[in-house]
Structure 1
């Protein structure tokens, strides 16, 4: 074998080995791609309505109202360089540093638990916002009591909060607002109904971890109402970004006249108990997923509008929203010509 031939053979071997190593070694990134959608006005995998309402008249709906998701590289999976490059070249995919999405100090189970908790919280807020929009009365109630907090052993999940410091409570956010009127170490008087018995319970505030001046008692607040709303979605979807879609579906079922008028609408956005819509991540992937499923209208949180305009998805109308009330009005305008449509392009 000549020196030239030997050099060529060695170079080929090095190239093959290098390419092989490239396909094996991982890179510290995760991918975002369009995820599955779910019709909140439809049925779940067990053939139950995604939104099930008891204790109140419900009305027929028409059309499809999709919550949208993002498919993210799972905590236990790593991307190789070729996989990362394919995602980078796809206009509807994104790459993010792994440590941003999965903090090193959190296990995969902790990440999943957080996503589940955020989904549960978004459902509670969606129910409160929808009941308020549909003018259905309710009381705040204790949903959870955190361990090692002042409320542990005093308040219980299911306690209906009738008043705080003598002030009647009629909305979920009021409870936290009145707790925060106190200084750390002061007592808060909760008038609650437990097992049909009213009682006043004193709870001393403690400092919120990370903010020594912010008082807390260690509870989360949900909704107590004769209207029972159940979200039958299982554990496949996590995080808070489906809140707006849940609230719209609940509102549509509780009020006369089909909101969507037979159209295919999709959207995203967090929501609080007062109906304020907040921004989310993965807006471009969610729009692409909605378009792939046939949606013609997409509800975009106002703070996500700039990114939404760069999604590069044609044939889908982007409706800008900041509240549940605006979302309802925006849908009516877009599907039935009832007023001006608030657009991300404006």
Structure 2
């Protein structure tokens, strides 16, 4: 073989090896892109894929995302879609370069997602815990809006304590000495307001029936005269139906708003969607306040791909969302659950709700 041919072949081999090396070399970045969207009003399998409960071809894992029992759940012609972000944690140089030049992807340092003081498994476990907490807060906020307030309950009674044999686990404390109880802190303050040895009249709901119980407070100890009734205080939200959210393989708190809307849609006769595909994101707390989330640009692409007609956007994310707005996808500004409900009502009436 001539020297020139050898040089060309060697150059080709080196180029191939270089490209192969680039493909194998891992870099300290992650690439974020649009993840799957899920209609909270639908049924999905264990992979998050849409299915129909009871259909012949439905997998055994097919189940409603929001499950209602002991009462009728209404059906909707539209969709309420939560949006997610896919995080590619094992990337090479070419992945990063493509991500940098893509409007639909974001490249960020690995440590921003997986801090060095925590393992990847620990981060993912935290994301799962946040996801579960978001479901709990969504349930609380939605049920409050539907007229089921949070109430104070008895989580346990200390053996030999002041309330032993008088109050029982799972009692709901309605009032103390005629004062309606609306929070654990209020109950504690009422107990502490009078000296130890005071008889307090507790109005409770026990097994669905109203009862009145008198409890004599006791000092915390021989040296601490703070009055106590020796119970574990918890919060409960009694309602005459069973409510369960079933969705796996998604982490983080950002689905809270869409879960709350999905619960309300199923428990009210009105179709909140108006037959439209609504996408959105945002955390939610027990009081219905909507909080900001991450990955807004990627979530917008996911919403657009799902055919959404609007994107419910947390107020604190509006600036970022506007900077990454997509044609044909209005950004509806929401700071609370009420804002979201009002926006959907406006859409059903043919109007335009407030945007970012």
Class of the TM-score when normalised by the shorter of the 2 chains: 0.7 to 0.9
Q: Which residue of 2 aligns with 1:228?
A: 242
Does 2:62 correspond to 1:47?
Answer: yes
- Residue 194 (structure 1) shift: 11
Q: How far, CA to CA, are the matches of 1:116 and 1:200 in structure 2?
A: 43
Does 2:37 correspond to 1:37?
Answer: yes
Does 2:245 correspond to 1:256?
Answer: no
Q: Deviations over 1:286-312 (max 9, x none)?
A: 111111011111100011111112224
Residues 123/169 of structure 1: CA separation in 2 closer, same or farther (3 Å cut):
farther
Q: How far, CA to CA, are the matches of 2:154 and 2:21 in structure 1?
A: 54
SS of the residue corresponding to residue 293 of structure 2 reads coil
Does 2:22 correspond to 1:22?
Answer: yes
Q: How far, CA to CA, are the matches of 1:67 and 1:201 in structure 2?
A: 49
Count of matched residue pairs = 306
- Residue 116 (structure 1) shift: 1.4
Q: How far, CA to CA, are the matches of 1:177 and 1:9 in structure 2?
A: 82
Equivalent pair of 1:330/1:341 in contact (CA under 8 Å): yes
Q: Which residue of 2 aligns with 1:68?
A: 83
Q: Deviations over 1:122-146 (max 9, x none)?
A: 1111011101112234535699xxx
Does 2:336 correspond to 1:332?
Answer: no
Equivalent pair of 1:30/1:98 in contact (CA under 8 Å): yes
Aligned 1:130-145 pairs, distance under 5 A: 130-139=142-151
RMSD of the TM alignment (CA)?
4.1
Aligned 1:1-346 pairs, distance under 5 A: 14-45=14-45, 46-74=61-89, 78-139=90-151, 159=170, 162=173, 168-170=180-182, 174-175=183-184, 223-233=237-247, 235-337=248-350, 341-344=353-356
Equivalent pair of 1:102/1:111 in contact (CA under 8 Å): yes
Q: Deviations over 1:75-127 (max 9, x none)?
A: xxx21000111122110111111111011222232122211111111111101
Equivalent pair of 1:192/1:201 in contact (CA under 8 Å): no
Equivalent pair of 1:26/1:79 in contact (CA under 8 Å): yes
- Work out which of the two has the higher radius of gyration on C-alpha atoms and give 1 or 2: 2
Equivalent pair of 1:92/1:311 in contact (CA under 8 Å): no
Equivalent pair of 2:149/2:237 in contact (CA under 8 Å): no
Show structure 1 runs of 5+ residues with no match.
Answer: 144-157, 181-190, 205-217
TM-score, normalization by structure 2: 0.72
Equivalent pair of 1:159/1:192 in contact (CA under 8 Å): no
Q: Deviations over 1:19-55 (max 9, x none)?
A: 3322211111111100101111111213322111234
Q: How far, CA to CA, are the matches of 1:254 and 1:81 in structure 2?
A: 50
Q: Which residue of 2 aligns with 1:210?
A: none
Q: Which residue of 2 aligns with 1:188?
A: none
Show structure 2 runs of 5+ residues with no match.
Answer: 46-60, 156-168, 190-201, 221-231
Equivalent pair of 2:333/2:355 in contact (CA under 8 Å): yes
Equivalent pair of 1:37/1:69 in contact (CA under 8 Å): yes
Q: Which residue of 2 aligns with 1:153?
A: none
- Residue 192 (structure 1) shift: 12
Equivalent pair of 2:153/2:236 in contact (CA under 8 Å): yes
SS of the residue corresponding to residue 83 of structure 2 reads strand
Q: How far, CA to CA, are the matches of 1:30 and 1:266 in structure 2?
A: 25
Equivalent pair of 1:137/1:225 in contact (CA under 8 Å): no
SS of the residue corresponding to residue 43 of structure 2 reads coil
